[in-house]
A and B are shown apart, each in its own frame.
Chain A
Amino acid sequence: MAPHDLRRPFKRPAISDQQRRREIALRRQNQQRSDSQNRARRLASSVVSLQPEPQPESEPDIELE
């Protein structure tokens, strides 16, 4: 039950640069994950729009990218 430390940050920025580096890396990773997902979906959507009728199973899928 010692007196608790009441020091507050003094003349220091709210977020350290190290914290910023972590956050920027995380943002980049999230963005790239979402880009990969969207790429996969766009590819699928293009195939769908180019192939309104289901293709016979023997015919290979068209690779667009």
Chain B
Amino acid sequence: IAGIEVPHKQWPELVGSLLSSIHQQQPHVKQASLETLGYLCEEVPPQALDQDQVNKILTAVVQGMSASEGNVDVRLAATRALYNALGFVQANFSNDMERDYIMRVVCEATLSPELKIRQAAYECLVSVSSMYYEKLASYMPDIFNITAKAVREDEEPVALQAIEFWSSICDEEIDILDDYGGEFTADSEIPCHYFIKQALPALVPMLLETLLKQEEDQDQDEGAWNLAMAGGTCLGLVARTVGDDIVPLVMPFIEENIAKPDWRQREAATYAFGSILEGPSPDKLAPIVNVALNFMLTALMKDPNNHVKDTTAWTLGRIFEFLHGSTVESTVITNENCQQILTVLLQSMKDVPNVAEKACGALYFLAQGYEDVGSASPLSPFFQDIIQALLTVTHREDAGESRLRTAAYETLNEVVRCSTEETAPMVMQLVPVIMMELHKTLEAQKLSSDEREKQSEVQGLLCGCLQVIIQKLGSTETTKHVFLQYADQMMDLFLRVFACRNATVHEEAMLAIGALAYATGANFAKYMQGFYPYLEMGLQNFEEYQVCAITVGVVGDLCRALEDKILPFCDGIMTQLLKDLSSTQMHRSVKPPIFSCFGDIALAIGENFEKYLAYAMPMLQSAAELSAHAAASDVDMIEYTNQLRNGILEAYSGIFQGFKNSPKTQLLMSYAPHILQFLDSLYTVKDMDDVVTKTAIGVLGDLADTLGSNAGTLIQQSVSCKEFLEECLSSDDHLIKESADWARLAVSRALSG
């Protein structure tokens, strides 16, 4: 109730009465009051409480946490309440004395005799590490000591939190380094303190020790999370944070353990190796990988332990992901070792499910490395064998375990995506095979709920696979022509798939249909009658907004494929899109693509868009006003605002171009002042990204081109046709320059006419 009322200032006495209860003697009242304060802080946004209230809550909570509090339950409730209150105490964390006090109490609580209190205290430390990274410098030596002791000696739930503290510090430093591209200047917002780099000589040995604490069969348990997994994950983050510096610290551990009789040592060494492959430079890693590759391939074939084989296949995948491909200079894959690698991976796909899944994953990245290889891929001679092996995996009885079936289809997708012309006939042969698989799933009847779930999963994977194939074969004229002989049957299958009610499957089928519409072009019109009900259903799917977003994109595909043949369906489509925009239920991320979709529709149906103007234009206008003056509070909001602006501008472009050369052009005249004003305000505020700049200056051109001399005076009065246009004409971004060249031509024509 407080979560609803307090933000509206409707229960002002609540915090005061809870605080006075805390000062009572009975421990259970204290405990309940602290828990309630904790819940309150969890529910309400920080601005809902004023600083005076925050100070009082903090004082009560910290007192409840301190060692002088004799009651364990009270201390635990206070520690958990602090976890939730941390977002409120910005001001207190800026004060050195207050911060020192809070940190001392938290660190003391990590040493409590009670496991739950220690665990909750570490949760506070983890949260502090991400919220107040920049304030941590003076506490790091002490924190290192207590976390190292916890990782080595404490019980697992506490040790896991202690590792999480270091993973969280890595997350922060990776973000900071990403933001500033490694260059720090005095005016950088948050400086990197290089805590990880400083702790490295002690941190890495501590993490390496954890790798030896694996659980038996952890690879078969989807929900497993233990010290070895957390330690290896943290080691991977450390490698990403410090790069090359980690390599000499980990190599001795790998060399010492990789060939030991105890599987735990071999697995830990392999996991350590796999974990540090992202971060250090390929130059640093390539010589080591060149030596290790043969050893890894042999281990994958011959190691007696499944856990070791699993980690070995995963490590091979990481080698291919980070040290192979056209962008990697010191690639470790040559034409010579490629065949040997493939032989081992295909053999390994017959292994137990978790190992076979990792082998599929490794093949995924091996194929990806040949994405830009040109016409002749080293995989081509083995293409048939690869496809066959992957299809065989999908038919395994145990393919439902360890995500094996999914991994096999996903790898098949990547192999197809990265295939070249020379293997196009084999991709073509795959079309009826995958269609037959999909057909089989549709024939199955009287299924139990488990079987139905499995069936949906397989249908989603098959539709995904067909989508990739359609896109591949549809991308060249020769293959497209042959492929389209399957279009009728394929469309029939997709429509039958829609009858199964499952969001993921709908999304996959919708994406595949979008690709098919693009490949088919105007001939897609014959499928529209049958497909339209499902299209409308997709546009109405508020709950699974991804399905709605994908469907909006498919409407765009249909507009480009059908052009004016989409007209009979536009009333229904526009009604639904307008409803989506007006709905408060609809996820905000779907709104920008809906605006872009208005542009697609207008471009396709031209002046027939007239009847929608009275509805679409006011919506565009109010969204434009909102987005022009949106307060950019955070990165996400800035990104969203730019997406919204881009969608609105794409709508305007499509509408102007659609009406071009129509006798009804004058209908747009009354909207021109507002649109020019929107462009001017975007230019004045100067916080749009390059994509918006390009689209905005293009709209100026489209407006001038369509309205011509009738809008001459209006255009001349705008800032956009002068400073904004000049700035874009001298832009280094060729797309902005291209749009600006167009705008200049159209504007000069409008002004001279």
Q: Spell out A's residues near B (CB within 8 Å).
A: 1, 3-4, 6-11, 13, 16-18, 21-22, 24-26, 28-29, 32-33, 36-37, 40-41, 44-45, 48, 54, 61
Q: Given A21-B413, A21-B464: A37 and B745 within 8 A (CB)?
A: no
- Chain B residue numbers with a CB within 8 Å of A13 are 321, 361, 364
- Majority DSSP secondary structure for residues of A touching B: helix
Chain B positions within 8 Å of A41 at CB level: 657, 698, 701-702, 705, 742
- Across the interface, do A22 and B410 meet the contact criterion of CB distance under 8 Å? no
> Are A22 and B603 CB-contacts (below 8 A) given A11-B314, A13-B361, A37-B653?
no
Q: Is the CB of B464 within 8 A of A18?
A: yes
B607 interface residue (CB < 8 Å to A): no
Q: Among the listed B120, B310, B745, which residue makes an inter-chain contact with A45, where contact means beta carbons less than 8 Å apart?
A: B745
B119 at the interface (CB under 8 A from A): yes
Is the Cβ of B514 less than 8 Å from the Cβ of A25?
Answer: yes
Q: How far is the CA of A13 from the CA of B701 in the complex (A)?
A: 44
Known: A21-B464, A25-B515. A3 touches B657 (CB 8 A): no
Are A3 and B511 in contact (CB-based, < 8 A)? Answer: no
Partner of A32, one of B120, B560, B705: B560
Say yes or no: A44 contacts B560, CB within 8 Å: no
Chain B: CB-nearest residue to A13: B361
How far in angstroms is the closest Cβ of chain B from A9? 8
Are B233 and A6 in contact, CB atoms less than 8 angstroms apart? no
Instruction: Verify B123–A54 contact, CB threshold 8 A.
Output: no
Question: Which B residues touch A16, using CB under 8 A?
Answer: 410
Q: Is B414 an interface residue (CB 8 A)?
A: yes
* Minimum CB–CB distance for A23 against chain B, Å: 11
Residue of B nearest to A9 (CB): B233
Give the complex CA separation of A44 and B119 in angstroms.
Answer: 68
Contacts of B556 in A (CB 8 A): 29, 32-33
Residue of A whose beta carbon sits closest to that of B225 = A7
Which residues of chain B have C-beta atoms less than 8 A from A28's C-beta? 471, 515, 518
A4 nearest CB neighbor, chain B only = B123
Cβ B553 vs Cβ A26 within 8 A: yes
The number of residue pairs between A and B whose CB atoms lie closer than 8 Å in the complex comes to 105
Q: Is B33's beta carbon under 8 Å from chain A? A: no
Q: Does B173 contact A (CB under 8 A)?
A: no
Asked whether B167 lies within 8 Å of A8 as measured between CB atoms, the reply is: yes
**Is there an interface contact between A21 and B467, defined as CB atoms closer than 8 Å?**
yes
A selection of 6 A-B contacts at a CB cut-off of 8 Å is A1-B81, A3-B123, A8-B230, A17-B410, A37-B654, A41-B702
Greatest chain B CB density within 10 A among A9, A29, A32, A40 is at: A29
Q: Which one of B34-42, B327-335, B572-580 is at the A interface?
A: B34-42
Interface string of B210-232 (1 = CB under 8 A from A): 00000000000000110001100
Among B156-164, B247-255, B677-685, the one that faces the other chain is: B156-164
Which residue of A18, A41, A44 has the most chain B CB atoms within 10 A of its CB atom? A41
Which residues of chain B come closer than 8 Å to A10, judged between CB atoms?
224-225, 229, 233
Q: How far is the CA of A10 from the CA of B223 in the complex (A)?
A: 10
**Complex: A44 Cα to B464 Cα, angstroms:** 39
Instruction: Say whether B514 contacts A29, CB under 8 Å.
Output: yes
Is B90 part of the binding interface, using a Cβ–Cβ cutoff of 8 Å?
Answer: no
CB of A21 within 8 A of CB of B511, answer yes
Q: Are B742 and A45 in contact (CB under 8 A)?
A: yes
Q: Does B661 contact A (CB under 8 A)?
A: yes
Determine the distance from Cα of A40 to Cα of B698 in the docked complex, in whole angstroms: 12
Contact residues of B between 374 and 404, Cβ < 8 Å to A: none
Query: How far is A13 from B657 in the complex, measured between Cα atoms in Å?
Result: 43
**Least CB separation from A54: chain B residue:** B753
B656: nearest chain-A partner, CB-CB: A40
Tell me if A36 and B603 are in contact (CB < 8 A).
yes
Instruction: Identify which of B119, B230, B233, B600 contacts A3 (C-beta below 8 A).
Output: B119
State whether B661 touches A1 (Cβ < 8 A).
no
Known contacts A1-B80, A37-B653; decide if A6 and B164 are in contact (CB<8 Å): yes
Within the assembled complex, what's the spacing in Å between the Cα atoms of A33 and B561?
11
User: Nearest CB to that of A40 among chain B residues?
Assistant: B657
- The complex places the Cα of A47 from the Cα of B504 at a distance, in Å, of 47
Nearest chain A residue, comparing its CB with the CB of B658? A40
- Nearest 6 CB-CB pairings of A with B: A17-B410, A7-B225, A40-B657, A1-B80, A6-B164, A11-B314
Contacts of B745 in A (CB 8 A): 45, 48
A25-B413 contact, Cβ under 8 Å, with A33-B599, A33-B600: no
Is B661 touching A61 in the complex (CB atoms < 8 A)?
Answer: yes
In the complex, what residue of chain B is closest to A11 when comparing beta carbons?
B314
Residues on B with beta carbons closer than 8 Å to the beta carbon of A22: 511, 546, 550
Q: Which residues of B contact A45 (CB under 8 A)?
A: 742, 745
* Contact in complex: A1, B38 (CB < 8 Å): yes
Query: Which residues of B from 501 to 556 have beta carbons under 8 Å from A?
Result: 504, 508, 511, 514-515, 518, 546, 550, 553, 556
Is the beta-carbon distance between B753 and A17 smaller than 8 angstroms? no
Q: Are B753 and A37 in contact (CB under 8 A)?
A: no
Task: Please determine whether B468 and A21 come into contact, CB atoms closer than 8 angstroms.
Answer: yes
**B residues near A61, Cβ cutoff 8 Å:** 661
A8 touches B123 (CB 8 A): no
B676 within 8 A of A: no
B553: A residues at CB distance < 8 A: 25-26, 29
Sample of 20 more A-B contacts, CB < 8 Å, known A13-B364, A28-B518, A45-B745? A1-B35, A1-B38, A1-B84, A3-B119, A6-B230, A8-B233, A11-B311, A11-B314, A11-B358, A17-B364, A17-B414, A17-B464, A18-B508, A22-B511, A28-B471, A32-B557, A33-B560, A37-B653, A37-B654, A41-B705
